[in-house]
Structures are given as structure tokens and as C-alpha cells.
Amino acid sequence: MKTEEKLIQAEELLNAGVALAHEGVVELITNNVVLDSKNKNLEIRIIELEAKEITQPSLDSSEIAIVFDPKTENKGWGDSYYYKTDEDSILTDEVIICGGRSGVINAKKEEFRVDWDNVTFIQGPYPTGWGASIGKVVGSIRNCTFSKLGETKMSASDSPKDGHPIYAKPGGDLLYEGNKFLDCGGNTQLACRPWEQVMPSKVRITMRNNFWSNCSWNPTGHGGGGSFNIAAYCNTEEGTEVVIEDNIIHNTVAYPGTSLTQHEPSARGVLAIWNEAWYAPKKAIDKGFSPDSKYFFKSLKFNNNIIRTTQTDRSPIQIKGCKDIEIKNLAVHYIGEVNMDKHFMKIDTDPDNPVKATKIRIDPIDSDGTIQFKETVIQLRQGLTWDA
């Protein structure tokens, strides 16, 4: 069969497959079968495919650009992209070899709008501090990969660096969707600190369909890299909304014991939600700031996620200063033997923090472990429903 005939036949099969799939979805709907959100999205996607002209995929490797500048290859210094005027950042189909400081950084003076799709961040010869260090940021980061940032093995330096995949100071709405965070030394952090910046009035963070694997392993005490895979410290005066849904967080880094976590990698926590403005550090107090309870988290929706973890050095989920907490359909899988000395989840355990939950809805979780809510301890399998 000639090549042209094969292509025609392939096109006919693809068209037939799309039509058949659409027919099946329609049949499910007409039979009153309840569809979950993924099936609904599938129906929309099929309709989009039907409306598109079928074309052959391009194999031109030049469509993926490598961003590399030898001047960035310095110990602790150098940025692949430095947006000094905070103009919009539109990045697509690129591999960014991060400098000794960052892959992307901005001046953090004006609103910084990002639209990133299919961008890969890797480090060069020196461990990098940040894949992206971005302030006053709004927009979307989709289908990007952050790999082994902060890694000292096979590098020109054995000094630990933060290795944050993204360190963001959001200025409004920010979306992370379909990204992969792989073996990065630091956490994916979102911070709004009144002693560092002009605070946004409100923030909404959405994290959907992302995958974290063995991130935030950096030894504690080395620049703050080791913490929680996701650390949200971006409380605001009108209340920050956080939606984290359909994600997988995976920790397999062996826990060496408390005495060694200052020097060796270790599995860290999964999620921290903290009204950090209430915990102003000494350097902030020295600048005239004091703990401020007007900044808070309005809501957390942590739904349809999977946590797979070995022994961690802390409670995997810790929440402080969030008014409305919803955790639904959470699957917890332990890798190897994990002791239950640390509560799996801690909520409002600091009696001095004036910002506390007013509503909690946590579905029963089919796993060993406990929830500490204030001074009360509840089994994960019980779940928790509470109103102030």
C-alpha cells in the first residue's frame, strides 16, 4: 500500500474513532448515567476534535527551543530569563537551562503576567536556587516540568541550594495545571509577606492535575529548601482562596532520622497552609512589623488528591489561619513501615494564633493515622465535620 493510501486510511479510522467515542458519550447521557468531571471534559474534547481539521503531526525538532546562556553558569548567580521591566512572559515549548540563581526571575515591581505552556526547567553545572522566582505574578503555568533543581550530584558544587521549582509571590489569580515537579530540592511556595511587599487585597490559587515526586528533600537549615511539597503562605486581607484538586504527591526519600535531617535529604511534608503574617520573624519585627491577624485564608478545597509517602520528618498536612476547610476523596498510601507518632494532619494547633477555622468538612480517609484539631485527636477513618 502506498504512503498516501495509508495516510487516507489512518485519517478515516481516526474520524471513525472520534465519531464512535462521541456516540458512546451521547448514549451514556441519554441513559441518565451520572458522569464525573473527567467524562464531561472528555465529551467537550471529542466535540472539539470533531470540529478540527485532522493534520499530520510535525516532527520538526526546531519547534522546541533550548534557552541557554553561558554567562548564567556561575555559582549562585545568573538567570536564563530576567524580566527587568516586568513585561508579560509568554513561554511555550522551551527547555530552560537554569543559571546559578534561577531559570526565570522578574523585578517584582509591577504586575507580572505569565502564560507558560510545555516549558522544561533543568539546572546547569551549578545547583540553582529557583526554577522560577516570580513576584506580583498572575496568570497560568501549564504542562511544565521542573526536574532535579538544587541537586548537587554531578554538579560543580556540593553546597546545597534551595532548588525551589517555583517560588511565587502572587498578585491575584494564579493557575498551576498539568505540571510535573520531579526531585527538586525545595518546595513549590506561594508567599505574601507584608514586610517584603505591598500586599494584594485578595488571591486565588488553583492547582489542578499536577504531579509532585520527591520534592522538598533539601536538608533543613540550608536556605529553607526542605519543607512541604506545597507551601502556601499567601494570606491576604480579603482572604486567600486555595483550590488543590486531582493531584498526586509522591514521597519516597528515605527518612534518616531527626539527628540527620540537617545534613541529609529526607521526605518532607505534603501541604502547609499558614497565615504567615501572624508569625512575623525577628527580621520583620526589626523593620517595624508585628504579627498581624487581618491577613487570612478564606478557604481551602483539597479534593480528589492522592498522597503516597514514606516516613516523613513532620506531619504531612498542616493548616493554620484558614476559615473554611474542605477535604474530600483523599487517598493516602504509605510506602513501607510508617509509624503513627506524628499526626497525619494538624489543624489550628497553635492556641496563640487568633485566626482559626470556622467550618471544616473532611471526608473519612481509608488509612491509618490521625487528625489533631486544636487539642482533639480524631482517626482519619472518622473524618471531621465541625462548625464554629
Summarize the confidence of residues 164-188 as an average pLDDT: 96
Q: Which pTM value belongs to this model?
A: 0.83
Please answer whether residues 101 and 123 qualify as being in contact, where contact means their C-beta atoms are separated by less than 8 angstroms. Answer: no
User: Count H helices, E strands: the chain?
Assistant: 3, 26
Whether pLDDT at 139 is above 60 = yes
Question: According to the model, what pLDDT value does residue 80 have?
Answer: 95
Q: How confident is the model at residue 29 (pLDDT cuts 50, 70, 90)?
A: very low
Whether pLDDT at 39 is above 70 = no
Residue 96's beta-bridge partner residues? 67, 121
Please answer whether residues 205 and 171 qualify as being in contact, where contact means their C-beta atoms are separated by less than 8 angstroms. Answer: no
Question: According to the model, what pLDDT value does residue 33 have?
Answer: 39
Question: Helix, strand, coil proportions of the chain in percent (round to 5)?
Answer: 15, 40, 45
* Mean pLDDT, the chain, whole residue set: 86
Q: Where are the domains of the chain?
A: 3-57, 63-387
The span from the CA of 77 to the CA of 68, in Å, is 14
Question: According to the model, what pLDDT value does residue 56 have?
Answer: 44
Does 21 or 325 have the greater pLDDT score? 325
Summarize the confidence of residues 286-298 as an average pLDDT: 94
Please answer whether residues 193 and 276 qualify as being in contact, where contact means their C-beta atoms are separated by less than 8 angstroms. Answer: yes
Whether pLDDT at 35 is above 60 = no
| Contact partners, residue 216, CB within 8 Å, separation at least 6 | 184, 185, 186, 187, 225, 226, 227, 228, 229, 268, 269
Q: What is the pLDDT of residues 8-17, one digit of tens each?
A: 454 454 444 4
- Set of cell numbers at residue 111: 504586575
The span from the CA of 348 to the CA of 322, in Å, is 9
Kindly report the length of the chain: 388
Summarize the confidence of residues 265-292 as an average pLDDT: 92
Summarize the confidence of residues 323-343 as an average pLDDT: 96
The region of weakest confidence among 9-13, 103-107, 123-127, 149-153 is: 9-13
- Set of cell numbers at residue 155: 554538579
- Set of cell numbers at residue 134: 516570580
Whether pLDDT at 264 is above 60 = yes
Summarize the confidence of residues 354-378 as an average pLDDT: 98
HSE of 291 in the Cβ direction (CA atoms, 13 Å)? 12
Question: According to the model, what pLDDT value does residue 211 have?
Answer: 98
Question: According to the model, what pLDDT value does residue 257 have?
Answer: 81
Question: According to the model, what pLDDT value does residue 230 have?
Answer: 96
- Percent of the chain past pLDDT 70, that is, above it, reads 82
Does 265 or 250 have the greater pLDDT score? 250
Question: According to the model, what pLDDT value does residue 45 have?
Answer: 52
Q: How confident is the model at residue 41 (pLDDT cuts 50, 70, 90)?
A: low
Pairing of strands 331-334, 317-320: unpaired
Question: According to the model, what pLDDT value does residue 25 have?
Answer: 36
Helices (H), the chain: 3-30, 37-51, 282-286
Question: According to the model, what pLDDT value does residue 156 have?
Answer: 83
The span from the CA of 320 to the CA of 168, in Å, is 20
Does 26 or 300 have the greater pLDDT score? 300
Q: What is the DSSP track for 232-278?
A: EE--BSS-EEEEEES-EEEE-PPP--GGGTTTS----EEEEEE-GGG
Q: How confident is the model at residue 5 (pLDDT cuts 50, 70, 90)?
A: low
HSE of 292 in the Cβ direction (CA atoms, 13 Å)? 17
**In the 3-class helix/strand/coil scheme, how is 40-99 assigned residue by residue?**
HHHHHHHHHHHHCCCCCCCCCHHHCEEECCHHHCECCECEEEEECCCCCEEEEEEEEEEC
**Backbone angles phi and psi of 17, in degrees to 5:** -65, -40
Question: According to the model, what pLDDT value does residue 220 have?
Answer: 66
The region of weakest confidence among 10-19, 158-167, 203-212 is: 10-19
